[in-house]
Structure formats: C-alpha cells, structure tokens
Amino acid sequence: MPVTSATGKQRRKVRFASTSQISAGKSSITPNQPAQSRPSSTTLSQDHTQPKQQSRMSETHVHPAVPALFKELPIIQDALTTETTNLQEETVNKCLPFLKGIHSSQKGPFNQFGVPPLNRDDHIAYLYDSLEDYPGSFVALDASRPWMVYWALAGLTLLGEDVSQFRDRVITSFRPMQNSTGGFGGGHGQLSHCAPSYAAVLSLAMVGGEEAFQLIDRKAMWRWLGRLKQPDGGFRVSEGGEEDVRGAYCAMVLLSLLDLPLTLPPDAEARKHGFETFTSGLSDYLSRCQTFEGGISGNPGSEAHGAYAFCALACLCILGEPEATISRCVDVPMLLSWLSARQYAPEGGFAGRTNKLVDGCYSFWVGGCWPLIQSAINGTQPATAPKQTSTGNLYSREGLTRYILACCQGKHGGLRDKPGKHPDSYHTCYTLTGLSTTQYHHYHTELAQAPGETSPLHFPGNSFLSPARTIKDQT
Ligand SMILES: [Zn+2]
C-alpha cells in the first residue's frame, strides 16, 4: 500500500524490523571527506554488464571470478570449540552463499568480478521511508531522534539525493530538542548530550541554509561544552554522564564546525585544574586510550573497540595535522596491527573487537580509520597533485566491497549488520559510508582550512567573542 510522504512523493510503506533487532548507534560519525579525493582503481561495484545468472542456488553456479579467499573456509581454524567459535562458524556459513552469489534473495546482474550491484533505488526509498512515522514499538529510540534524522540524511546524501528539501522539517524537529542551557537532547524535554547534539548539528549542516544555522545557540553550546571538560583532559558526554572518547570527538566536532572559541568559559570547572582551553590535555587523554592490543578504547583501561578508535583518530585529526597528532599520540604500527586483524576472510567485512563477529556498521567505524591513518602516513600533500599513495592499500578494499554488496543489502532496500539481520537506517548509513571509503583515496592537502578562516557554519554576525580562535592555534 503506497503512502504519501511529507515530501509529497508516493512511497511504499517501510518494513520495520522488530524493536529488539534495532541497533542504535551510540557514537557519532561523519563521512569525513578530505579536500582531495579521487576514484581508486577498485571497480568492484561498477560495470554490472554480465547477464543475469539463471540460478544461484547451486554450488555449480558460483561465479568463477569470486576468489577462493572469499568463498572458502579459513585455512587455519581454532581447534578449541567455544560459544564464540560456534557463532563465528555460523556467521561464515550464513555469509558464504551471499559471497558466492548463490543465495536466492540476491538480485543480479552480477558484474565481471561476481559482485552484485548496489540496489540504489531500493536504498533511497528505504531511507526516505525511514523519515516517516514509526510504530509504537520504536519508543525505545525516542532518545535517538536526531540520529534517526542524521542516518537518513547522511545515507541519502551519499546516494546523491538533495536533502535540502528537508530543511523546514529538520528545523521544526530540532527546535524543541535544544535546551536553553546549551546543546541538544535526544528528544523533547531530554537532557543535552554530546551524541544527539552532534547528530543535530550535522543534520542542520546537511540541509543547510541560514535559518538552519541560526537555530543553533552557539554561545549556550560553548558554555555547556565547558561544563563537560574534565580535569584529565577528556569530556563527559553529558553533565553527570560518562566520560569517553565519544564525548571528546563530538565536543571537538561541535567546537570546530560552529567555530566556537577554544578558550574555556570563565566558569568551567576544568579551569580550577589549570586548564585554559578545550584542547588542554586532550591529546594525552586520547593517547592513554590506546590499549595493549594496539586498538583504542572508550576510556583509559577499557577494551579496544573500532568505534572508539575512529572517534579518537578523528578527534586527533581535528586537533592538528594527522601526520603530527596521530604519530605523536598513537603507536601507529600497533594500531595498524590491531585494525588489520578486524578484517575477516572469507567474510571480507570488519568486526569491532577481538573475537567478535563481522558487522556492516564497522565498514565505517573501522573503515573510516584507514583514510585518517593513510593521511598521517602520507603526510600533507600538494592540493593540486597529491602523490600516489606510497603505502598502497592498508586493508582489502575488495573484501569490504564484497561484504557490503553481497552480504549487507536487504531484499527490500536498506542495508544490514549481516545476513539474517533486518536492515535499519543506522546500518544503511554506515555501510554506505564504508562503501564510499573503498572507492576513493583520501589525502590531507595544503588546502585544508588555515587558521583564521571561517568554518562552514560560521556567520560573522553571530560571533560572540572575537577574534574566534581556530583549533590549530592550540596544538
Ligand atoms: Zn552494527
């Protein structure tokens, strides 16, 4: 039964997963597109010119171009059987028919590499639908309203849709979620929190326009962020809330994007501990989050995790040149070792932690780390002619592309964690972002914003302290 969306278009009704299977993201993220990028030589997702396979239900119809790495069990297998190894084996067996292209739900035509196409129109329709009404069982996501908007808009933007059509709806939706004491809550009447504030501000940036920008009370945001800064250099995610690298990353994105002063507000508690700026002690705090495994945890002493690794690395890239900040604060060879171990074969996708299962959303959380590390290793490049990557590919772009296109696409649109799971807008957004990273080489170039330049959201008339100091002044 078609439904009419607020945009006036006729749309089919979205198929919702049961609430228990909804995975709400707990951190923030953005498709961090550097100034210069260009298509890589990887063309796995292109050229779907092969005739459609007649039947994909039999091993005899496995596409000959699928390498053994992605269609056979690993050569070395753990002899010790545990719940973890059983789950891993089960997951591999669920993925294999999709990787081989023989699962009955897969749509062709497969390209010359045996990879199915991106069902672009289905995903676009799914994301438009995800901006419409939700059944009552979704009440558990009431504190994630800005995220629901962000995932849909980011996904649609990645698929080439113009999301400025949602400007009025986004402004109307977020206005009641902003607190007069600064920041945005996850829903109406809720406490301000770094994560929904991040999602709200990035959503407003995506729809654009002066009215969207003017909605944000920058001065109150600055004062609120000042109350989140902690004596050890990190940030809490909310007043009285937990302290972790999500808080640090979201705070630095908000400060940077809104062009807020880096000087701490006069009443900030952290001033009593000798700090004067938001960046004081921050890189040391992030450095302490690298674990014995080489990965990065949510806070010092916790387990290394892909999403926290992204937050910490992205935060370091805001603090200064990636080649300077990442190299100074992180043991890069150890981190590369840990990140590389997150990619599995034959699945091809990433897992978030040691001994965990592959999951589509880590296509971004782990996949998004590679361009940042690549930028750190390659150093700042001339904007006009970045050199070819001296480091080559740090991960298997082919593997990730195969996992996303073969295993993550839902039959009726939307992308998912893994075969057997329902699609949702969170996984749709982050698998698409991961797919994008496989298609480009990213560089940090000389065209990156120089001190004194205004950020995209800065309006001179809206400035409340001058001169506004940029991040780079403090590093
Ligand atoms: Zn996931």
Q: What is the pLDDT of residues 352-377, one digit of tens each?
A: 999 999 999 999 999 999 999 999 99
Q: In this predicted structure, which of 329-343, 365-379, 437-451 has the lowest mean pLDDT?
A: 437-451
Query: Residue 18 gets which letter from DSSP?
Result: P
Distance, CA of 467 to CA of 76 (rounded, Å): 60
- Point out the least confidently predicted range of 5-9, 181-185, 257-261: 5-9
Question: Is the bond into 386 cis (omega within 30 degrees of 0)?
Answer: no
Residue 361 CA to ligand 1 centre (angstroms): 4
User: Is 353 a residue of the active site?
Assistant: yes
Q: How far is the CA of 414 from the centre of ligand 1 (A)?
A: 13
Active site residue 305: yes
* pLDDT of 48 over the 90 cut: no
Instruction: Considering the candidates 71, 128, 359, 402, report the single residue annotated as catalytic.
Output: 359
CB 401 within 8 A of CB 331: no
For ligand 1, the distance from its centroid to the CA atom of residue 46, given in whole angstroms, is 25
Asked whether the predicted pLDDT for residue 472 surpasses 60, the reply is no
pLDDT for residue 60 is more than 70: yes
Q: Which of 427, 441, 442, 444 is catalytic?
A: 427
Looking at every residue in the chain, the average pLDDT score rounds to 85
More confident residue, 426 or 45: 426
Burial category of 127 from C-beta neighbours within 10 Å (exposed 0-12, middle 13-18, buried 19 and up): buried
Query: Which pLDDT score, from 0 to 100, does residue 132 have?
Result: 94
Whole-number pLDDT of residue 448:
58
What number of other Cβ atoms are within 10 A of residue 417's Cβ? 24
Residue 275: pLDDT band (50, 70, 90) is: very high
> Bigger pLDDT: 392 or 202?
202
CA of 5 to the centre of ligand 1 (A): 28
Q: Would residue 362 show up in a list of annotated catalytic residues for this protein?
A: yes
- The residue among 58 and 205 whose pLDDT is bigger is 205
Which residues neighbour 409 within 8 Å (Cβ) at sequence distance 6 or greater? 116, 118, 119, 122, 123, 415, 416
pLDDT at 164 over 90: yes
- 428 Cα to the center of ligand 1, angstroms: 10
Check pLDDT > 80 for residue 392: no
Distance between CA 404 and CA 343 in Å, rounded?
13
Alpha carbon of 404 to ligand 1 centroid (Å): 12
Centre of ligand 1 to C-alpha 385, Å, is 37
CA–centroid distance, residue 73 to ligand 1 (Å)? 23
pLDDT at 206 over 90: yes
Residue-level pLDDT at 390? 57
Q: In the annotation, is 284 catalytic? A: no
Q: Between residues 220 and 386, which one has the greater pLDDT?
A: 220
Task: Give the pLDDT confidence of 291-312 residue by residue, as tens digits.
Answer: 999 999 999 999 999 999 999 9
Bigger pLDDT: 54 vs 116: 116
- Give me the catalytic one of 317, 361, 407, 429: 361
Position 27 scores a pLDDT of 34
Task: Say what the pLDDT of residue 16 is.
Answer: 52
Q: What is the pLDDT of residue 17?
A: 52
Quick: pLDDT tens for 233-246: 999 999 999 999 99
- Is residue 162 annotated as part of the catalytic site, yes or no? no
Q: What is residue 270's three-state secondary structure?
A: helix
Catalytic residue among 126, 308, 344, 362: 362
Lowest mean per-residue pLDDT among 256-265, 326-335, 348-357, 387-396 = 387-396
Question: What confidence score (pLDDT) does residue 263 get?
Answer: 97
pLDDT at 396 exceeding the cut of 50:
yes
Q: pLDDT grade, residue 444 (50/70/90)?
A: confident
Q: Which of 305, 402, 416, 421 is catalytic?
A: 305
Distance CA 361, CA 25 (A): 9
Per-residue pLDDT, 110: 95
Which of 356, 411, 412, 469 is the catalytic position? 356
Per-residue pLDDT averaged across 388-408, rounded?
A: 89
Q: Which of 354, 291, 339 is nearest to 78 (CA)?
A: 354
Distance 197 CA to ligand 1 centre (A): 21
Q: Is 232 assigned a catalytic role?
A: no
Supply the pTM of this predicted model. 0.85
- Tell me, what's the pLDDT at 301? 97
Chain centroid to Cα 284, Å, comes to 24
pLDDT band (50, 70, 90) for residue 383? confident
Q: How many Cβ atoms sit within 10 Å of the Cβ of residue 379?
A: 15
Is the confidence at residue 465, as pLDDT, over 50?
no
Residue 466 pLDDT level (bands cut at 50, 70, 90): very low
pLDDT in the model for residue 32: 33
pLDDT at position 1 over 70: no
- Cβ of 58: how many Cβ atoms within 10 Å? 8
Query: What pLDDT score was predicted for residue 107?
Result: 78
pLDDT for res 327: 95
Asked if the model's pLDDT at residue 176 lies above 50, the reply is: yes
> 417 CA distance to ligand 1 centroid (A)?
5
Q: How far is the CA of 475 from the centre of ligand 1 (A)?
A: 34
pLDDT score, position 393: 87
- Looking at residue 108, its pLDDT comes to 81
For residue 337, the model assigns a pLDDT of 97
Mean local confidence (pLDDT), 385-402: 82
218 in active site: no
The pLDDT score that the predictor gives to residue 382 is: 84
And the tokens for 342?
Answer: 């997150």
pLDDT at 10: 52
Q: How far from the centroid of its chain's Cα atoms is residue 71's Cα? A: 28
- pLDDT at residue 116, rounded to an integer: 96
User: Is pLDDT at 2 greater than 90 in this prediction?
Assistant: no
Predicted confidence at residue 15, as pLDDT, reads: 53
